[in-house]
Amino acid sequence: QWDAMFEKFKKIQADANAQKEFEKALDESVNEMTKKLDLWIKVKKQEQDALANNYRPGYNHQPGEMNLF
């Protein structure tokens, strides 16, 4: 009976180690995706800020009018 308990313990430990390895790989993947997303957001924010630099507050835009400035 002790041998069966020991075998079960080893199997559970192996499963726990596999779970830890999976969680580590998952964390690395999530961190990498988060970094890519942060970089994408930063680029989009810079693009939006560049567009905002051309915005003239108080300008009365009329429908159909092209603002080329």
pLDDT in tens, 41-64: 999 999 888 877 766 666 776 776
User: Under DSSP, is residue 48 helix (H, G, I), strand (E, B) or coil?
Assistant: helix
Domain range summary for the chain, segments of one domain joined by +? 1-25
Identify whether the C-beta of residue 54 lies closer than 8 Å to the C-beta of residue 69. yes
**3-17: b or e for each residue (b if 16 or more CB lie within 10 Å)?**
eeeeeeeeeeeeeee
26 or 41, which is more confident:
41
To the question of pTM greater than 0.75 for the whole model, the response is no
Gap between the Cα atoms of 11 and 18, Å rounded: 10
